[in-house]
């Protein structure tokens, strides 16, 4: 099996067939990860660099673990501990790394479009691990994988994204993926955190009342307020945000409907989600993290060009 693309830069330009191929390959790798010996030789002799110009817990560890489970040689690069601080450019950094015979690059960067720039200038396969406010494709793939584990298919399912839609790369990748796969998508949050014209541009529903939005959906994916990406005051305080848009046990009890609760992490307890929701049986937050390894194994394997 192969994908129609050499790189994974985003979901926007990925074919529906590519998404299905990644999800079905991830199912096979998840089965491998349940075995006592979780390692397969699929990417032996393939070298992958994890190039992180921005902080990460889940994505960086998940990619590294996926690479190790596939028997690839994994190298970790943190910009803060590199010669970037001495003025080296992104392109010089990557070309120096590639000259050491590196085959694939996993990259997170605070600048939207940074992986697209690299893909135009270097021969290696580039995988976007999150670029600015643009896309986070492997997060959307693992979210989709986690939903299908619970609900079987995405087609016709009602998926709600709650919170800071404007600054969330997770939201944009999720919207592209869910729409391609036939799900209905709604976004909810304060008007200042939802882009104007999103309804027409991306064919999603918009709801400013959290209770109505939760009553509509099968799945609620709750997003963090991206304070580090906001350069102006967009809501009065975190306390007031929690009162209007925080997903609490009280509001879930009021709608009296068993919806699935998701969050890409990191979670801010008591802001966008309360602890008794994040830690409840309705929450699949840690299953999302678990599934990330199998999904990233699938992406790396399918983009490596290795034919086993």
Q: Is 80 in the site for ligand CP (CB under 6 A)?
A: no
38-46, 143-151, 264-272, 295-303 -> range binding ligand CP (CB under 6 A): 264-272
- Closer to ligand CP by Cβ: residue 182 or 266: 266
DSSP secondary structure, 82-123, as one string:
SGGGGT--HHHHHHHHHTTT--EEEEEESSTTHHHHHHHH-S
Q: Which residue is nearest to ligand CP (CB)?
A: 59
Q: Which two tokens stand for residue 220?
A: 């609620």
Nearer to ligand CP, 12 or 205 (CB): 12
Q: What are the DSSP E strand ranges found in the chain?
A: 47-52, 73-78, 104-109, 125-131, 158-162, 184-188, 205-207, 219-222, 260-262
Q: How far is the CB of 52 from ligand CP (least distance, A)?
A: 9
Cβ–Cβ under 8 Å, residues 289 and 58: yes
Q: By CB under 6 A, is residue 189 in contact with ligand CP?
A: no
The length of the chain in residues reads 308
Name the residue nearer to ligand CP (CB basis): 40 or 220. 220
The rounded distance, in Å, linking the Cα atoms of 113 and 98 is 20
For residues 101 and 192, give the distance between their C-alpha atoms in angstroms, rounded to a whole number. Answer: 46
- The least distance separating ligand CP from the CB of residue 214, rounded to whole angstroms, comes to 22
How many residues line the site for ligand CP (CB under 6 A)?
10
- Of the two residues 62 and 166, which places its CB atom closer to ligand CP in the complex? 62
Least gap, CB of 62 to ligand CP (angstroms): 8
- Minimum separation from the CB atom of position 2 to ligand CP (A): 26
Q: Write the binding mask 222 to 261 for ligand CP: x where contact by CB under 6 A, - elsewhere.
A: ----------------------------------------
Calculated CA dihedral for residues 101, 23, 169, 265, nearest 10 degrees: -100
Nearer CB in complex with ligand CP: 56/282: 56
What would the DSSP string read from start to end of 283-305?
B-HHHHHHHHHHHHHHHHHHHH-
Residues contributing to the site for ligand CP (CB under 6 A): 56-59, 130, 136, 139, 264-266
């Amino acid at each position: 099996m192969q994908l129609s693309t050499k790189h994974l830069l985003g979901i926007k330009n990925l074919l529906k067939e590519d998404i299905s191929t990644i999800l079905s390959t991830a199912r096979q790798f998840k089965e491998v990860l349940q075995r006592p010996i979780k390692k397969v030789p699929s990417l032996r002799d393939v070298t992958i660099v994890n190039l992180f110009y921005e902080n990460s817990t889940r994505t960086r560890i998940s990619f590294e673990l996926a690479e190790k489970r596939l028997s690839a040689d994994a190298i970790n690069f943190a910009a803060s501990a590199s010669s970037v601080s001495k003025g080296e450019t992104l392109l010089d950094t990557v070309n120096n790394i590639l000259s050491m015979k590196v085959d694939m690059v996993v990259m997170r960067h605070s600048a939207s479009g940074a992986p697209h720039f690299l893909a135009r200038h270097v021969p290696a396969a580039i995988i976007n691990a999150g670029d600015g406010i643009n896309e986070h494709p492997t997060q959307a793939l693992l979210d989709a994988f986690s939903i299908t584990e619970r609900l079987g298919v995405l087609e016709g399912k009602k998926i709600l994204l709650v919170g800071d839609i404007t600054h969330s790369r997770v939201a944009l990748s999720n919207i592209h993926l869910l729409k391609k796969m036939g799900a209905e998508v709604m976004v909810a949050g304060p008007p200042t955190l939802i882009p104007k014209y999103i309804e027409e541009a991306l064919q999603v529903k918009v709801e400013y009342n959290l209770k109505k939005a939760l009553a509509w959906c099968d799945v609620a994916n709750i997003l963090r307020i991206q304070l580090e990406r906001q350069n102006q005051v967009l809501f009065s305080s975190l306390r007031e945000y929690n009162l209007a848009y925080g997903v609490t046990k009280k509001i879930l009890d009021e709608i009296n409907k068993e919806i699935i609760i998701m969050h890409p992490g990191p979670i801010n307890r008591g802001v966008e989600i309360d602890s008794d929701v994040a830690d409840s049986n309705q929450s699949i937050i840690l299953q999302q993290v678990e599934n990330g390894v199998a999904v990233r194994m699938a992406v790396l394997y399918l983009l490596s060009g290795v034919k086993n």
